[in-house]
């Protein structure tokens, strides 16, 4: 049986991958989201309720459901980057990468030498992929995806230098925090014209640099616009909201 293409391979082929966003520490939901048709599931340790235990189980559950497993750690938690990859994640989205130094720290945790300084121990990852540890090592630097979140004016200012970091696979725009920081804390307006225009410029620079471009999409209109901008990794649908919306719709059928 031929192995399914990796997330990295699909992004290199310029496929559009839609990821669900998982904030609830209930690993089976990752499987259900995959079975529902999402191409990937992102387990959120920054703002979600996940810990390393539910990430461990959520990665396996996502893969069981046919989805690529992605993880977002807390700010500056570079140690968890390596752990997530060891547990079988295919991509990590690091929040608040504001400088070349932040990007280098991400690459250091995500990639094996000589590109980075990731420590050896991917036994669960190799098991989930059905490969030997040696085969995992041979492909790991190309097949693990390290994405730096661009969500502040400092990150936008340093974007060219961040994109030039060897081993960084791409960027992921956080429009909520981008709007918050651009307004100096006055408002959160991720769908505003100013934020969306800046997102388009970020995507164009990322693609010109040969890097992947991802973004969190708060509305369906934002997701469609992001695809047109050149983003190919789209976060669209938080499982808590999906559950609540489905429950409300079901109850409304009785009215």
Helix or strand run (H / E) with residue 145 = strand 145-150
CA atoms in the 13 A half-sphere facing the CB of 126: 14
Question: Which conformational region is residue 95 in: left (phi greater than 0), alpha (psi within -120 to 50 degrees), or beta?
Answer: beta
Q: Which of 215, 141, 208, 201 is nearest to 171 (CA)?
A: 215
Alpha helices in 77-217 (DSSP H): 78-86, 100-110, 123-129, 133-143, 153-157, 159-163, 175-182, 193-208
Quote the CA–CA distance of 53 and 56 in Å, as a whole number: 5
- Beta-carbon-side half-sphere exposure of residue 96 (alpha carbons within 13 Å): 11
Query: What end-to-end distance do the CA atoms of the chain give, in Å?
Result: 50
User: What CA–CA distance (Å, rounded) separates 219 from 214?
Assistant: 15
What is the biggest distance separating any 2 CA atoms in the chain, rounded to whole angstroms? Answer: 63
List active site positions. Answer: 47
């Amino acid at each position: 049986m031929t192995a399914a293409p990796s997330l990295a391979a699909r992004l290199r082929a310029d496929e559009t991958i839609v990821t669900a966003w998982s904030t609830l520490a209930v690993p089976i939901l990752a499987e259900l989201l995959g079975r529902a048709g999402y191409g990937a599931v992102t387990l959120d340790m920054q703002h979600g309720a996940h810990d390393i235990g539910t990430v461990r189980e959520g990665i396996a559950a996502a893969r069981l459901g046919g989805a690529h497993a992605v993880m977002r750690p807390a700010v500056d938690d570079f140690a968890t980057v390596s752990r997530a990859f060891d547990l079988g994640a295919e991509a990590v989205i690091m929040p608040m990468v504001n400088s070349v130094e932040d990007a280098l720290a991400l690459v250091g945790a995500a990639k094996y030498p000589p590109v980075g300084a990731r420590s050896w121990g991917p036994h669960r990852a190799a098991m989930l992929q059905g490969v030997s540890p040696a085969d995992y090592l041979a492909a790991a630097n190309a097949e693990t995806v390290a994405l730096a979140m661009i969500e502040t004016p400092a990150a936008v200012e340093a974007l060219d230098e961040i994109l030039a970091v060897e081993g960084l696979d791409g960027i992921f725009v956080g429009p909520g925090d981008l709007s918050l920081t651009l307004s100096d804390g006055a408002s959160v307006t991720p769908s505003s014209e100013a934020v969306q225009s800046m997102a388009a410029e970020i995507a164009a620079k990322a693609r010109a640099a040969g890097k992947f471009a991802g973004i969190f999409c708060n509305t369906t209109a934002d997701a469609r616009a992001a695809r047109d901008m050149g983003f190919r990794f789209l976060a669209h649908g938080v499982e808590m909201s999906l559950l609540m919306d489905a429950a409300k719709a079901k109850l409304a059928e009785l009215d």
